Amino acid sequence: MYELVIKGGRLIDPAQGINECRDIGIFDRKIAALTHEIPPSEARKVIDAQGKIVTPGLIDLHVHVADAIIPLGAAPDEAGVLRGVTTICDGGSTGWVNFPGFRKYVITQAKTDVFCYLNICPTGLSMMREIRGWDDIDTEATLKIAVENRDIIKGIKLRAVNPLAHKLGLKAVKVAKKVAREAGISLMVHIGDQRNRKAGEVDVMDAFSLKLLPLLDKGDVLSHVYTAQAGGVIQPDGTVPPELRKAQDRGVIMDTAHGRPNLSFEIARQGLAQGIMPTTISTDLASTNIHGPIFSLLLTMSKFIALGLSLEQVIEMTTVNPARALGEEKRRGMLKVNMPADISIIELTHGDFMFTDAWAGNEQKGDILLLDHLTIKGGMEIIPKPRAKNEVASKRPF
């Protein structure tokens, strides 16, 4: 007897090449069966998923959820299970000083699985422009915390912005990479400064970002690949530099990390047309954007469908690909017997939608909007938080 059966949904599991209607049986918080027909009599409870998309639990590779630890911190479950996402990864909200509090008081209390990248700055994003000199980096303390918390810490985070770029240069990237490698984890680098590019000019920060790309190895994460801010790697005229192509070929993870300033539809169109595909789609959700204009991972996925990616592609970029980036592919990112029953049930709606890329100021028409219907976390049903009318209304900018 199954504790729960999800019946009649269209299963899309890119890791296993599944795209068809199947039933899922759940027992003891794990997937116990994956077959075309499970009789309702074999289940204590049946969830009718007809007309819905059923996927491995969605994974958001870049959020900020150090709630009450930093000003930008959203609540983990607000960014996670209450919005159809079963696993999230914090993108450097805390450093070695405040990570222990983040772990004890936030991560362990969440229903959503939370991993993180540890900021090379001791206090993370407690305040912006966090690194102003070498006194703001303590490699030994950072390494110690990273090694002691390898179950949660998946990498080291560095924001390649000013004043770090001007005062510390590429040596800062090399130092962060060295700490990551000594800990046996990856490096995540944020590109895109706080200011806009000037029209017709090659910004000094653009050159800095291009110089750091060769330092990134397979499995390292380039955050904000489609940013139009100073320090972006795709130029406003669509030029894709060879350094970026080489990084992609090496296996550097190209992550969207939407955020308010760091996704430009125009830059994304140029990059996609020239083969610069995202490895992972993530939101950069924080307290400042979770109630608009970013809202959710599913909305961000909808934007990339509007930009020309397929439903199957955006699901791959939010399931198995981020699972691999985190080294978690044996425990999440696919629907397989004996794996934890982390499942997203998604409503695919058709309509006339106008999406926005937030601060970049561009719009993109689309006819598909993905909405969270139900989340299964460890075999337990979690009903999503009621969506605000302005988040789902047709014919309005998102």
What is the average pLDDT across 175-203? Answer: 86
Query: What CA–CA distance (Å, rounded) separates 60 from 316?
Result: 12
How many helices (H) and strands (E) would you count in the chain?
Answer: 12, 15
Whole-angstrom CA distances from 72 to 28, 90, 287 are 36, 11, 5
Whole-prediction pTM: 0.96
For 58-116, write each residue's pLDDT tens digit.
999 999 999 999 999 999 999 999 999 999 999 999 999 999 999 999 999 999 999 99
Residues with Cβ within 8 Å of 348's Cβ and at least 6 positions away in sequence, in order, are 52, 53, 311, 368, 369, 370, 371
At residue 347, the pLDDT reads: 97
Query: What CA–CA distance (Å, rounded) separates 221 from 267?
Result: 19
At residue 353, the pLDDT reads: 94
Instruction: Tell me which amino acid residue 89 is.
Output: C
| Residue 166, token pair as written in the block | 């001007």
Query: What CA–CA distance (Å, rounded) separates 178 from 174?
Result: 6
User: Which strand (E) or helix (H) includes residue 355?
Assistant: strand 343-356
Q: Range(s) for CATH 2.30.40.10 in the chain?
A: 4-55+335-392
Q: Range(s) for CATH 3.20.20.140 in the chain?
A: 57-325
For 2-36, write each residue's pLDDT tens digit.
999 999 999 999 999 999 999 999 999 999 999 99
The alpha-helical segments, DSSP class H, found in the chain are 76-79, 99-105, 139-148, 164-167, 170-183, 204-212, 242-250, 265-273, 297-306, 311-316, 320-325, 389-392
Q: Which fold has domain 4-55+335-392?
A: Urease, subunit C; domain 1 (2.30.40)
Residue 307, pLDDT above cutoff 90: yes
Q: Which fold has domain 57-325?
A: TIM Barrel (3.20.20)
